[in-house]
Amino acid sequence: MVRTLILTGILAVLGTYTHAAVHIHAGQLFDAESGEVLTDRTIIVDGDRIQAVEEGFVEGDETIDLSGHFVMPGLIDMHVHIVSETNPRRFIQRFTWEPGDIAYNSVPYAEKTLMSGFTTVRDLGTAYGLAQSMRDAITRERIIGPRIFTAGKSLATTGGHADPSNGVNEELRGDPGPVDGVVNSVDEARAGVRNRYKEGADLIKITATGGVLSQAKSGQNPQFTVEEIEAIVATARDYGFKVAAHAHGTEGMRRAVVGGVDSIEHGTYMTPEVMKLMKKNGTWYVPTIVAGMFVAEKAQIDGYFSELVRPKAAAIGPLIKETFAAAYDAGVKIAFGTDTGVPPHGDNWQEFVHMVDAGMPAGEALQSATVSAAELLGESENLGSIEAGKLADVVAYPSSPIDDINVMGNVAFVMKAGKVFKDER
């Protein structure tokens, strides 16, 4: 009894002591809220959170010297597929790989993503619950990777872009339903959302139109009714979910916006009328230009895509950049997203280059991957800027990407939640 009391007292005393705060000296600090670049600031990190940001270089017991670097919040990619990556054998691998093969193969993708400066990602479509498992393994520090918010299995209609039986012979095809992410009525739409909640998803993704890489003829046709989308959105709200809508074609996009989704992904054939509707409803646009450029390039290679996919990739891919430029000029809200997993993981930063080339100023491009992405994610209290109280996600570059956006491909320092994962000063 006495020993227990003594031990309890020792633990209580130890619990009153905290580890020393880390002082980060930032020569240039990107203020994501204002878009301005501040000079000579000290970021004080205590545990996994930012304690304060002070003017000048304040010394501490532990100091990280980034006085010669451009420092900014950890980046957020709002559209990735974290456990997969496109290759010419990807369709065949659906039949030859076990879920465990996919899981083990994906571990390097997570690390590449974090090391390229992306401390948070939104995974928009992964089967077998693998993104949930990766999310949890990263949280438990079993593997290295970004903070993951995942939609789990995307919701589709029969034959739609995320119907897992597309391209499968009749003997293997079956008839997927809401458990498998395939819905064909208002009631099934509600059931699809509830099954995603059951499997541990963080948000909902629907495929409102056809897609480029699915084994189906159309990449544009609308694939949900407005009533089905409204049911999905209403049910998602019951569970605290936001809803992202993959959409290339105009009518499917319009239905998704009318139905109340939070974001349009890709948006290839977005018209001025749809842009006006998005602005009216506050709908975000996540462009994924780099994925469009990637599939257009690979469509020129014989055998890389199936003959069903190839013409879609050649036609749709190059248009996304033009759509982005028009949507930006129209004042549509834009959050950064790449569709990485189509292009290679770790190359997410190339989206910035395309955004700037299409007419968005570099500072606004950086905001799209910080404060704007955090707002769409519903995580503004924790992410998106370097401010007291927020998670200590900090990345640094050897020079300013405001002057040369290509610098985004040369990340020198990565801290996630107060822990340093990369330091190449």
Out of 171-175, 243-247, 293-297, pick the least confident.
171-175
**What's the rounded Cα separation, in Å, for the pair 303 and 323?**
28
Q: Which two tokens stand for residue 340?
A: 């990485």
**pLDDT confidence band for 324 (50 / 70 / 90):** very high
Radius of gyration of the chain (CA): 22
End-to-end CA distance of the chain: give it in Å, rounded.
Answer: 53
**By the 8 A CB rule, do 154 and 176 touch?**
no
Query: What pLDDT is stored for residue 220 in this prediction?
Result: 77
Instruction: Flag whether pLDDT at 281 surpasses 60.
Output: yes
Query: What pLDDT is stored for residue 253 in this prediction?
Result: 97
Q: Mind listing the pLDDT tens digit for each residue in 183-198?
A: 999 999 999 999 999 9
Handedness of CA 150, 246, 154, 309 (dihedral sign): negative
**pLDDT confidence band for 159 (50 / 70 / 90):** confident
Under CATH, to which class is 2-74+385-423 assigned? mainly beta
**Average pLDDT, stretch 152-170?**
79
Domain chopping of the chain, boundaries: 2-74+385-423, 75-377
Handedness of CA 171, 177, 179, 181 (dihedral sign): positive
**By the 8 A CB rule, do 48 and 88 touch?**
no
| Average pLDDT score over the chain | 91
pLDDT above 70 coverage of the chain, percent: 91
**Average pLDDT, stretch 36-42?**
98
**What's the rounded Cα separation, in Å, for the pair 212 and 161?**
8
Query: Does domain 75-377 bear CATH number 3.60.20.10?
Result: no
Q: Mind listing the pLDDT tens digit for each residue in 259-270?
A: 999 999 999 999
Query: What pLDDT is stored for residue 57 in this prediction?
Result: 97
pLDDT above 90 coverage of the chain, percent: 74
Query: What pLDDT is stored for residue 370 in this prediction?
Result: 98
Query: What pLDDT is stored for residue 13 in this prediction?
Result: 37
Instruction: Flag whether pLDDT at 292 surpasses 50.
Output: yes
Query: What pLDDT is stored for residue 165 in this prediction?
Result: 64
b or e along 151-190 (b: 16 or more beta carbons within 10 Å of the residue's beta carbon)?
Answer: bbbbbbbebbbbbbbbeeeeeeeeebebebbbbbebebbb
Convert 58-96 into a string of H (helix), E (strand) and C (coil): CCCCEEEEEEEEEEEECEEEEEECCCCCCCCCHHHHHHH
**Average pLDDT, stretch 83-101?**
80
Q: Is 13 exposed, middle or buried (0-12, 13-18, 19+ CB in 10 A)?
A: exposed
Instruction: Flag whether pLDDT at 43 surpasses 90.
Output: yes
Q: Which residues contact 22 (CB under 8 A, 6 or more apart)?
A: 44, 45, 46, 60, 62, 63, 64, 418
**pLDDT confidence band for 8 (50 / 70 / 90):** very low
Out of 33-42, 166-175, 388-397, pick the least confident.
166-175
**What's the rounded Cα separation, in Å, for the pair 204 and 173?**
24
Partnered with residue 396 across adjacent β-strands are 71, 413
Q: Mind listing the pLDDT tens digit for each residue in 100-154?
A: 888 899 999 999 999 999 999 999 999 899 999 999 999 999 999 999 999 999 9
Q: Mind listing the pLDDT tens digit for each residue in 12-36?
A: 433 333 468 999 999 999 999 999 9
Q: Mind listing the pLDDT tens digit for each residue in 334-378?
A: 999 999 999 999 999 999 999 999 999 999 999 999 999 999 999
Query: What pLDDT is stored for residue 98 in this prediction?
Result: 86
Between 304 and 325, whose confidence is greater?
325
Please report the DSSP string for 178-246 in residue order: GGGTB--SHHHHHHHHHHHHHTT-SSEEEE-B--SSSSSS-SS-B-S-HHHHHHHHHHHHHTT--EEEE
Identical fold between 2-74+385-423 and 75-377: no
Instruction: Flag whether pLDDT at 391 surpasses 90.
Output: yes
**pLDDT confidence band for 289 (50 / 70 / 90):** very high
